[in-house]
Amino acid sequence: MINRREFIRRSLLVSAGVTFGGALGGLKGISAAEEKKELAAPLKLTLDGRIPISLIIDDPSPGLNPMNVHRPESNTDPFIPNKLIHDLADLFCEFGAKGKFSVVPMGFGRGRIDKHLDGVSDQDVADFIKVVKDQIVPLFDITPEILTHGKAYDLKNGNFFDEREDKYFSHISREIMTDYIALSLEILKNVGFDANGVTSPWSLGKEKEDDYSWAILDAEKRVYDRKRTWYFLHSDSKCEVLPHRVMHRPVPDEWVVSIFSGGIDFAWQTQEGKPGIEDAIISADGKKGRFVDLFNHESSITTHTHWQSLYSKGSYAGLVSLRRVFERVKQHLGDRVIWTKCSRLAELVAEKSV
Ligand SMILES: [Zn+2]
């Protein structure tokens, strides 16, 4: 076994491109399998003696329904009325829920939220942004979900490539990634958001995660002069303890942290007219579900759902499901958990990893 300090040192070296086993011939007799296990050693985190819990909301884009673009065969309306943002913000405030809320800067290639989105009135965009600022920002971190959450944007000429952003990021350089992420941050900055982290659309970045995570830190430095940042790319619905981790720490006060979701969008299927599966998150009696499993293993608790899952093709069944999750967390986990922004969770990861 290696101690925590050695584990961190190795993590940093691995982040810097140094591998053990092969390169150093198995340090101190540790097998490659053991090293891999140690490098993935998850952290048990607490905040004020309680277990942090965070909700991740992916895909919000003023007035637009991502399902219409991503699954045209689903026959969904391309637009989502602002009733959803108002109702959702009220629900967050009622329960004091915290986490991360995406705002897509150039939703599906329909324009920029700091200029104009095709098909959405400027008044609706302004109203959406105001609700997010007034009610959601105090509780949730705002991140871009990179730029379009659709086809990749050509920074050179303003056209769109014929491939999705996730495919594009599998073959571009760290420098182009940085410019691309920086544009997404600049657009959010232009409308008054302090985006302290980044969300990956789909699994964008996973093929070149080392470059990608560096690019996020570089872009945050450039746009916001921020030296500590985080991102959401990975989801793990089975592990006992969520393996959030420091990806890079070039100097002690600079870092980029990868925050994991505990998985399961309990409301996704409400888009098909089915009820939400909030029992998979926390059952009515509070004894089963992903949240309960994570809690019982003293893991931090996260899950993610989607803007379109909460809209549920206009029935808002996903919102009902989310309310049940909040009620059950309050009733059964109560003061033993604490709603936490993802940026705060990232700080806890960085603090505990020293
Ligand atoms: Zn997404």
Query: pLDDT tens digits for 245-269?
Result: 999 999 999 999 999 999 989 999 9
Given this model, what pLDDT does residue 43 score? 87
Report the alpha-carbon distance of residue 22 to residue 109 in Å, rounded. 45
70 CA distance to ligand 1 middle (Å): 10
Q: From the CA of 216, how far away is ligand 1's center (Å)? A: 17
Given a contact cutoff of 8 angstroms between Cβ atoms, the answer to whether 235 and 345 are in contact is no
Please provide the distance, in angstroms rounded to a whole number, between the alpha carbons at the two ends of the chain. Answer: 18
Q: Where does residue 156 rank: exposed (0-12), middle (13-18), buried (19+ CB within 10 A)?
A: exposed
Q: Looking at the DSSP assignment, which residues form a beta bridge with residue 256?
A: 229, 248
Nearest-5° angle of CA 323, CA 326, CA 330? 140
Please give the distance, rounded to the nearest whole angstrom, from the Cα atom of residue 284 to the centre of ligand 1.
28
pLDDT under 70 in the chain at which residues? Answer: 1-41
How many angstroms separate the alpha carbon of residue 126 from the centre of ligand 1? 22
Q: And the tokens for 58?
A: 């992916």
Distance 25 CA to ligand 1 centre (A): 41
Helices vs strands, H then E, count in the chain: 12, 11
Quote the DSSP letter at residue 205: T
The Å distance, Cα 336 to ligand 1 centre, comes to: 30
Residue 293 · residue 302 · CB < 8 Å: no
The candidate with the shortest Cα–Cα distance to 128, out of 145, 114, 138, 111, is 114
Domains of the chain, start order: 1-41 (no CATH), 43-352 (3.20.20.370)
Cα 81 to ligand 1 centre (Å): 19
Distance between Cα 282 and ligand 1 center (Å): 23
**CA nearest 151: which of 215, 89, 104, 188?**
104
Question: Residue 318's closest CA among 279, 281, 265, 280?
Answer: 265
151 CA distance to ligand 1 middle (Å)? 13
How far away, in angstroms, is 232 Cα from ligand 1 center? 10
Using the mean position of ligand 1's atoms as its centre, give its distance from the Cα of residue 112 in Å: 17
How far apart (Å, rounded) are the C-alpha atoms in residues 221 and 253? 13
pLDDT value of residue 22 = 29
Return the structure tokens found at 195: 């985006």
> Structure pTM?
0.89
Q: How far is the CA of 149 from the centre of ligand 1 (A)?
A: 7
The rounded Å distance from CA 260 to ligand 1 centre is 14
User: What distance in angstroms lies between residue 328's CA and the mean position of ligand 1's atoms?
Assistant: 26
In one-letter notation, the amino acid at residue 352 is K
Q: Which residues surround ligand 1, an ion (CB under 5 A)?
A: 58-59, 201
CA of 319 to the centre of ligand 1 (A): 18
Distance 14 CA to ligand 1 centre (A): 29
For residue 128, what is the enclosing H or E element?
helix 122-131
- Distance between CA 335 and CA 215 in Å, rounded? 38
Q: How far is the CA of 207 from the centre of ligand 1 (A)?
A: 17
Pairing of strands 99-102, 140-143: parallel
DSSP per-residue string spanning 132-161: IIIIITTTEEEE-BSS-SSEEE-TTTS-EE
Pull the structure tokens for residue 56. 């991740």
21 C-alpha vs ligand 1 centroid, how far in Å?
36
At 46 the three-state DSSP class reads coil
